[in-house]
Each structure stands twice: as C-alpha cells, then as structure tokens.
Chains A and B, each alone.
Chain A
C-alpha cells in the first residue's frame, strides 16, 4: 500500500537556523498538508496546498514558514529562523481529493530546537 514518507525522522537544529522538512506524498494525491504536534498538545493544522499554491494557512503559519513543491514528488516545509517554540512533531499528509476525504499521514519529523 502506498505511503507518505517524511525525512528526516529527527532533526536537531540550533535556534535561528533554517530547517527544511521533506515529504513525499502518495503519488496520485493532489492535496497536501502540514500539521504539527507540540509535546503533550493537540495535532494542529499548519497549511494546505493544492494546485501549486497555498489554499489555507493557520495563524501559526507566519512569515517564518513556507511550503514548496519543487518537483512532481516532493513537498517541503521550510522554517526560516527557528525558535525554541518550533520544537514539535511535524506531520505531512496527503489526500486524493479535498471535500473531507481521508488524509494519509507520514511518520512525522521530530524537530528539536536547541
């Protein structure tokens, strides 16, 4: 069964540095999402992406964050200048359609900011 893959599984970075989290969605999916989960808290929506542009973003997704689909397979989340509070588990998800169709999640990247 096809899966969403995320790399790296764990990223440790100094505060202020840039990080890029990578995702390969399921190949025939058209809708892409990033979520994050701070330790002990809810899974929170960050951004959705469709047709090569952001379709929706949350208040968390400020100017420090950006997403890109640089080729036909990868979907990346960049954090420009990391802060301690960016430490979290970041999940990528993809879906074949929008409209409340189920989303398929990757294993997540644990981001630790020192």
Chain B
C-alpha cells in the first residue's frame, strides 16, 4: 500500500532563512508526487508536481527515487510562506487517488 510520511508537524523559521520540508513515500510503481499548500482559511492549492521540475514561489522539490523522498525547499523564506504544506502521492497503481502526508505547518517569523 502507498504511504506518505511528513516527519515534521511544525517548522518555525525566521524570515530570510532557508526552509526544507521533508517528505518520504512508499509506493510500488512509478509515483507522481505533489506538494499542496493551504494558506489560512483557503483551499488546498497545488504548489508543485515533480514531473514539471519547475520552481513556484521560490520553492523547488526533487524526486529522489533511491531515497524515496520528495523534499520541498526554499532558500529564503518569506512571511507569506506561512501555511500548511501537504505532500501527496498518486499514480496508476494507486488508482490515481491522492494519498496525503500528515502535513507540516510552516511558521515564518519576522
């Protein structure tokens, strides 16, 4: 069965500091990995997908199949990055449903 683990429930950093959110997965097949973000009182929004290999709002994430990880990174955190971040996995073997991690709350302090 597929599983997504986000070991940190809370990450607190100062503005301008780097931030890294960890995500590890288990999946028997070729995974599709996503990061979703939920700002206060807003809906879940797609932030990144591994297949795009793009940077959104300064965030990047690299799929490491050897380590089964998809960590999210930003070199200089901003206050507006404070939000809940969810790593999610999908794929054919998973029936295309999303399996979510438990989420990491990021708090960027001024």
Contact = CB atoms under 8 A, between A and B. Distances in A.
In the A-B complex, list the 6 residue pairs whose CB atoms are closest, starting with the nearest.
A100-B32, A98-B96, A105-B44, A43-B100, A56-B95, A45-B97
A106 B43 contact: yes
A16 B43 CA distance: 29
Nearest to A91: B44
Contacts of B100: 35, 42-44
Given A91-B44, A107-B43, A108-B43, A102 B34 contact: yes
B92 interface: yes
B34 A42 contact: no
Given A42-B100, A56-B95, A101-B96, 13 more contacts: A3-B43, A31-B96, A43-B44, A43-B86, A43-B100, A45-B98, A45-B99, A91-B44, A99-B32, A99-B92, A100-B92, A107-B43, A108-B43
B90 interface: yes
Given A42-B102, A42-B103, A102 B97 contact: no
Interface string A53-65: 0011010000000
Interface size range on B against A: 20 to 34
A33 B44 CA distance: 14
B91 A105 contact: no
Nearest to B49: A102
11 contacts: A3-B43, A42-B100, A43-B44, A45-B99, A48-B96, A91-B44, A104-B46, A105-B36, A106-B43, A107-B42, A108-B43
A112 interface: no
A102 B46 contact: yes
A35 B103 CA distance: 15
Given A42-B102, A100-B96, A105 B86 contact: no
